[in-house]
Chain A
Amino acid sequence: MTSKLVWEDLRIEFEKIGGPGQLWRAEIKRICQYRILQKKNLGLPAELFGFVDWDVDDLAQTVITERLLARGQARFIFDTVESLDHARKLLSNEVSFTLEDRRVPNQVDNVWSNLEPRLREAGWSPEGKGPGDNSEDDAKKIKEIARQILNLKRLRNRGQQRLSPLFAGETLSGLAEQIVREQPQVSAYVIQMALRTALAKISPRLSMEAVGSTEKEFDEVAGRGTLRWVDSLDSSEGLFAHAQKVLEILGQEGSEIVFQIASGATQSEIAAVLGVSRTTAVKRIEQAQELLVKTLKSLELGEEDNLKIIQEVFVILGAGISDGVMVK
């Protein structure tokens, strides 16, 4: 029978070998696993954080070498904490800091810095701390604002190698006014999360991260949460996981094409969004459609399940159906 891990075990191990050992590594891996799952669910690619792919061992090793050893943070934790929960919180922060250190600055940062003054100008008066007490309420608001962002007219893509502007200033002012009109006291956290949600759908490269661990994240790390990989299509989590997988295979451009088609964009409009000629766009649209069909086939599910997954893909992408017509 194995006994339950306590801080004393980690402390003794550290003392014995003069640094973090296997028990520490196992805890860090557990936290990394959760963080990776969280990022995957948000559609964030590993390259955004300087990794080739989302590999738990890679991330855990980076946390250990760059933070716990090189910056002496393992020793800080050893010197400071008295309980496993406290140790996990600090380790969780270390994982956040590692990801933040490696994060490539992106357009979402630019969008937020352009949007925030416009919100204030429009009379925005945020109330309360970051995440609100009612996470369901927050989730509802995030979804609503994300949908508004997805509906904004985007500027033509000027290539992926540079941070070309996403929205015109006037468009952002309109968004700010709409947000303030409808939810004048909405928190910055909700707007930032909505931006992250919306822009991760438009392009997974365009997301933002925050340093720090919320209590909810900590509960997940401590194994008290609900975030799990679910395979069954009967649950919304399972459906979401399958749809996410499809989007992952479609890639950034493929997802953009599916989103544009779903919202009734013409070939010329899709060409403008992709920043390519119409002829090239037509080819890419065909490729994306073929890839989508191939991916669905590879899942080996029935037609009804495939339809459910496609619908979920549209929901994730921010497209919807109104009066039998696809809308953004």
Chain B
Amino acid sequence: MMGKLQLPKIEIGQVRKLDSIKGIASSRLVAIAEVDAMDATCLVFLLSNATDAATPRDVVISKNDVALPYDIALMGDYLSRADQGRLASNPILGKLSEELIRAVRHAVDISPFGAINIDENKYSVEVGSFPAQKYDAVWTFRDAEAANFALLTFVRNKSSLEFAVKFLQINHENPSAFDDPEVNLDAIRFRAISKERIEVAA
């Protein structure tokens, strides 16, 4: 009998491909920024090969520092949530330091407009300098990337029924997960109902 296939665990800093959604959005490379086991999702930064067109909101990382055969631009403003399932089966292509990921998130958070402030020497990166102007080709390119990324990812609502169902599915064999005070109340209710049904059936 064949053993269960062991996929490499998703960890912060990994560069992986985020699968396309057929007919809706095409695949992109992303860097993992945060992993959440609660609903098997993770936050990801969008990566781009357009390093020549990296703006002051992007960080350009040399291929040697990311263990890839090409330089890459981490697009600071493009952080969103994706299902781990759409990343897990794809190989780890490169790795960024967790420290860099944290630094970029912090830099983007504290300066929502203009250039991001990050210690370039400390992290061996370069903040982009391309002056994207409204309506120019780079602006259009970024706009298209944002639209595609928005379709590939989603915004999580922990109070939603969808989240409750997903949480229940993932944790149905892990009762301790329901002890968390932040657990969605619907998830607890669903678990109670399904447990009751099993008991009645028995």
Contacts and interface: CB of A to CB of B under 8 A. Distances in A.
Contacts, number: 72
A212 B141 contact: yes
Contact of A210 (B17, B63, B136): B136
A82 B141 CA distance: 20
Contacts of B70: 71-73, 75-76
Interface string A45-88: 00000000000000000000000000111011001111101100
Contact of A80 (B28, B71, B136): B28
Contacts of A128: 135
Interface residues of B, number: 27
A130 B52 contact: no
Contacts of B133: 188
A79 B93 contact: yes
A90 B63 CA distance: 19
A82 B90 CA distance: 12
Interface string B20-40: 100000111100000000000
Interface residues of A, number: 28
B19 interface: yes
B160 interface: no
Nearest to B53: A211
B29 A79 contact: yes
Interface in B29-88: 29, 49-50, 52-53, 63, 68-71
Given A76-B69, A80-B28, 15 more contacts: A71-B71, A72-B70, A72-B71, A75-B70, A82-B20, A85-B26, A100-B52, A129-B135, A129-B140, A130-B137, A188-B133, A210-B136, A210-B137, A211-B137, A211-B138
17 contacts: A71-B71, A76-B29, A79-B17, A79-B29, A80-B49, A82-B20, A86-B27, A90-B49, A128-B135, A129-B139, A130-B137, A130-B139, A187-B135, A188-B134, A189-B135, A210-B136, A211-B52
Interface of A: 71-73, 75-76, 79-83, 85-86, 90, 93, 97, 100-101, 126, 128-130, 187-189, 210-212, 214
